[in-house]
């Protein structure tokens, strides 16, 4: 899976010296992005962006506190809607930054800095988080056209992407991840469960699904050729696919490596506390 992340995009844009950067202030009503910062007006707690991304391009949404929901777009434009909730007096402290390139768009939520958390920066990928005094969540809804790659990252919140027709990369720290696509997907979380349904099984290299505390349920097409590795400290492994065991260290609370079909590509499933189910997509 080819995924262009923020750091790669920044280097690419900086080399070309043609960054189109818009910082959007969310502070109460409907806000439509027209491109340049001087064309933006802050009128409400709702932010909207839409635009055309070429087939094979990507849309990446990076939240800190808030859920990210994605669904298939009815047309060829990407549509992004963000809505704030929480302490209204803090709404003006929460910004959104937009990075645009001919290959895709990155949209980030920015919170003010604190002693514990430096200010987040969409371009430089600084480690950051929500200032504890800013009681504002930002929830995203994204409509993704076919063949536009979707990347979602949040710290506190769920990622839900249903019925997409493109590659998906979904990540949370504290929250569940629920993905279904006719293409390929990868997902991770720290505290939460993962449910993923993939319409293809022809990935290159390694496809991984990882959590620390939670279950993993993965649906794949009936014809599957893959080497698989399963690791869990406390959990069971169940599979609709016949698995030829290559290495086994305890069926429970252990490690299992095996082969499905002819093998070749690698499927990695890891959880510390949780069960792993590998199911045939019906």
CA 98 – CA 36 distance, rounded (Å): 10
CB 225 within 8 A of CB 265: yes
126, 175: one domain: no
- Range in 36-40, 101-105, 228-232 the model is least confident about: 36-40
Greater pLDDT, 119 or 256: 256
Question: Whole-model pTM?
Answer: 0.83
Q: Do 177 and 269 have their domain in common?
A: yes
Instruction: Give the max Cα distance, the chain.
Output: 62
Q: Which of 156, 174, 197 lies at the terminal end of a domain, its last residue?
A: 156
Nearest to 112 by CA among 89, 94, 125: 94
Which of 156, 173, 191 is where one domain is finished? 156
Which DSSP category does 253 fall into?
S
Residues 152 and 107 in one domain: yes
Q: How does pLDDT run across 134-192, given as a tens digit for each residue? A: 889 999 999 999 999 999 999 999 999 999 999 999 999 999 999 999 999 999 999 99
Give the pLDDT confidence score for residue 130 in this predicted structure.
53
d(CA 106, CA 196): 23
d(CA 127, CA 146): 32
> How many helices and strands, by DSSP H and E, does the chain display?
1, 23
Total count of domains within the chain: 2
Q: Give the mean pLDDT of the chain.
A: 82
Q: Are residues 42 and 137 in the same domain?
A: yes
What is the domain extent for residue 163?
158-282
DSSP state of 18: -
Q: Are residues 140 and 168 in the same domain?
A: no
């Amino acid at each position: 899976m080819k995924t262009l992340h923020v750091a790669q995009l920044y280097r690419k844009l900086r080399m070309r010296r043609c960054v189109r950067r818009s910082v959007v202030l969310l502070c109460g009503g409907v806000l439509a992005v027209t491109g340049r910062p001087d064309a933006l007006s802050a009128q409400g707690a709702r932010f909207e962006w839409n635009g055309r991304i070429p087939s094979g391009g990507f849309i990446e949404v990076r939240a800190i506190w808030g859920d990210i929901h994605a669904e298939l777009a009815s047309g060829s434009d990407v549509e992004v809607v963000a809505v704030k909730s929480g302490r209204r007096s803090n709404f003006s402290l929460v910004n959104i930054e937009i990075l645009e390139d001919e290959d895709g768009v990155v949209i980030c939520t920015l919170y003010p800095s604190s002693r514990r958390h430096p200010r987040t920066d969409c371009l430089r990928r600084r480690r950051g988080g929500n200032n504890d005094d800013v009681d504002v969540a930002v929830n995203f809804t994204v409509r993704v056209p076919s063949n536009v790659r979707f990347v979602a990252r949040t710290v506190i919140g769920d990622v839900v992407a249903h019925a997409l027709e493109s590659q998906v990369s979904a990540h949370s720290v504290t929250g569940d991840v629920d993905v279904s696509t006719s293409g390929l997907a990868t997902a991770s979380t720290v505290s939460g469960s993962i449910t993923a349904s993939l319409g293809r099984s022809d990935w290159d290299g390694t496809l991984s699904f990882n959590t620390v505390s939670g279950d993993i349920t993965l649906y794949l097409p009936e014809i599957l050729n893959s080497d698989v590795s399963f690791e869990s400290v406390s959990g069971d492994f169940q599979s609709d696919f016949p698995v030829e065991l290559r290495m086994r260290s305890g069926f429970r609370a252990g490690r299992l490596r095996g082969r499905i079909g002819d093998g070749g590509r690698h499927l990695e499933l890891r959880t510390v506390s949780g069960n792993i189910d590998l199911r045939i997509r019906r």
